[in-house]
Structure 1
Amino acid sequence: MESVDNKNSIFKEMEEDIYSSKLPEIEKQKILKNILKLKEQKINIMITGATGCGKSSTINALFNTQVAKVGVGVDPETMEITKYDLDNLVLWDSPGLGDGKEADNRHSKNIIKKLAECDEHGNALIDLVLVLLDGSTRDLGTSYELINQVIIPNLGENKKNKRDRILVAINQCDVAMKGRYWNFEENKPEPTLIQFLDDKVESVRKRIKEGTGVDITPIYYSAGFKDQGEEQRPYNLSKLLYFIIQHTPKEKRLAYVNNISDKDEMWKDSDDLKDYSTEIKQSFADTVSECAADGADVGEDIGKIFGKTGETIGRAAGRIIGTVAGVGKAVWNVITSW
């Protein structure tokens, strides 16, 4: 894995904004105390699914890191959950199920054990489980067993908590119909494939609800595939990131700012249902507005106080619309409703 040398930069800029502001000293100290709490927050995401679902390509597409392909040069049955520590963002990459009953049993026990772990405050260590399904196959039996029998029963007793802590995403939507009805030039599905994928989403939702009573609506996307010398062309990756952020506790969302992939091609293509870049900016802005300024008497537009912070957030979210230039305080003030 490539190292990420951007530790705490968003928090450093938040602190600099407060120190340079004209707020009364007592209010500065309140906000700085809140920033310290935000800085200490870590988001832990477990990524799992059946063998071949594309976990590694998804991680590589979403974040500024490179992880090895699962099973390449290693016996998959001997692999355990791998930890990727990206400062405040921690990824737990679980081996794929489907390599044999004995291996699946061992991997399932490891997943259950990890889900039972608590942090230093006694809360569940894993904030979110991202379960990836292989959109190129109709045989999702292993995935349903993983979701219905291993993951959901071990996410606590409350149905809402279960729903908030799991996100199901169908990868490889471009080959869901063996490559038919996929517009390769524009890198998007044609109407026939969209209907097929919508039906698949509904089918998966029903199977999970019938098996667990928990109502989860999956999304579909493609992490793309990058062979040597080829370009990785994801689809709906910004939608996937948006839903990941929405499933993340508000006080932990800034962990993503420094880790979103800075490769423009990762974010080019998505459906037209929502402006995901603006929504993601707003999610980050809400964290600063509600968590950093909690309990402080700001007395003015908080967007003006956190100008430098706004520029950093704007640049991070700006990657999702294919540009990092010209996104500054003005955009910050426009996209927020302080």
Structure 2
Amino acid sequence: MQKETIFQKLQRSIDNLQIGDTEKQKLRNGISRLKSQKTNLLITGATGSGKSSTINALFGADAAKVGTGVDPETMEIQKYELDNLVLWDSPGLGDGKEKDQIHAKGIIKKLNELDKDRRPLIDLVLVIVDGGSRDLGTSYELINQVIIPNLGEEAQERIIVAINQADIAMKGQHWDHEANQPKPKLIGFLEDKVRSVKERIKEATGVDVDPIYYCAGYKEYDEKQKPWNLSKLLFLIVKRTPPEKRLSYMDNISADREMWKDDDGLKDYKKEVQRSFQEVATHVAKNTAAGAAAGAALGSVVPVIGTTIGAAVGATIGFVAGLFGL
């Protein structure tokens, strides 16, 4: 039996609302607009930074198996189409000057591609940096010379810099394997790296970027490292995506609770992800009455994200309607 999509759930929820047919049709039209949207996420980074492990951790171990092949127009960028979510996985840089130039041209071409409405095709770029490497020259070249100059005036909002492999940033030292989190000395080291990366990018481009650090996790033979701070990364991805396109993620987030279990605890990222999805209600209908109904419909289905990423947060009609100031 085929799994019911978020858009089908919303349609069913709207059908059950106690409102007039005219208002219901407005909501159906709003959902149809959302369903027609495609979210395009470009994932890039230096060779060995952990792009594939990050994709699989965020979107499930089978994410990379549904790719529709190499895009010949953008020099070997892999396209993974997951319903309304399209992932573009660019080849890693750092395998030689000639190859890097070819890959950089492919990335630039993709960043300058427009959709049917003449807007940039790529909504968001996720740059993954190898936290275990001291030499980040390739990453800086990629960010400062290739990506940011081709993101336009909204560069700050359209790029996320994420430092992966936090667990081996100090050669595997100062990581609490039992609690699956960095010890204070490692946290200090990672915070210094964040400041350094931020300053280097600002100095070269004038753009303020706030990098985060995380661990995508891995399984190799008898060794296993669980993810850490992945929920923070997901929160940033969803929040930086245009609201009308955010629902594209809901059907594709990994259902493995272990992916979302451990994070830095600075914020309830799972709850914030839910809030970001609930904000979509404002884009379903613009007038107050339909807006409240949209909030009710969305509020009845958004809690499924709780079972997906382990958040025990119930979305109520009152809470969602509060987003409209009602």
Q: With structure 1 as the length reference, what TM-score do the two structures score? A: 0.87
Q: Among residues 283, 293, 309, which one is paired with 1:291 in the alignment?
A: 283
Contact 1:34–1:294 at 8 Å: present in 2 too?
no
Structure 2 counterpart of 1:148: 144
Q: Among residues 101, 106, 119, which one is paired with 1:123 in the alignment?
A: 119
Contact 1:258–1:316 at 8 Å: present in 2 too?
no
Between the aligned residues of both structures, percent identity stands at 55
Judged with a 3 Å threshold, the aligned counterparts in structure 2 of structure 1 residues 335 and 264 are, in CA distance, closer, same or farther, namely farther
SS at the partner of 1:226? strand
One-letter code aligned to 1:214: V
Deviations 1:271-319 (A, max 9, x none): 110001111111111102x01232362486755x31xx54542122443
Is 2:127 the counterpart of 1:94?
no
In 1, distance between residues paired with 2:221 and 2:57?
15
Residues 304-323 of structure 1: pairs in structure 2 closer than 5 A: 305-306=296-297, 309-321=298-310
Q: Among residues 245, 252, 255, which one is paired with 1:259 in the alignment?
A: 252
SS at the partner of 2:62? coil
In 2, distance between residues paired with 1:113 and 1:221?
29
1:92, CA displacement in angstroms? 0.2
Residues 1-338 of structure 1: pairs in structure 2 closer than 5 A: 6=3, 9-66=5-62, 80-156=76-152, 158=153, 161-228=154-221, 231-288=224-281, 290-295=282-287, 297-298=289-290, 303=295, 305-306=296-297, 309-321=298-310, 331-333=315-317, 336=320, 337-338=322-323
1:322, CA displacement in angstroms? 6.5
One-letter code aligned to 2:158: R
Contact 2:285–2:291 at 8 Å: present in 1 too?
no
One-letter code aligned to 1:259: N
One-letter code aligned to 1:134: D
SS at the partner of 2:234? helix
One-letter code aligned to 1:244: I
Contact 1:262–1:319 at 8 Å: present in 2 too?
yes
Contact 2:27–2:285 at 8 Å: present in 1 too?
yes
Deviations 1:41-71 (A, max 9, x none): 11100000000000000000000353569xx
Structure 2 counterpart of 1:74: none
The unaligned stretches of length 5 or more in structure 2 are 66-74
The unaligned stretches of length 5 or more in structure 1 are 70-78
In 2, distance between residues paired with 1:332 and 1:177?
44
In 2, distance between residues paired with 1:33 and 1:65?
34
SS at the partner of 1:297? helix
Contact 1:30–1:296 at 8 Å: present in 2 too?
no
In 2, distance between residues paired with 1:23 and 1:67?
39
SS at the partner of 1:84? strand
One-letter code aligned to 1:278: K
Contact 2:37–2:84 at 8 Å: present in 1 too?
yes
One-letter code aligned to 2:31: I
Aligned length: 313
- Superposition RMSD on alpha carbons, in Å? 2.2
Which one has a larger percent strand, Structure 1 or Structure 2? 2
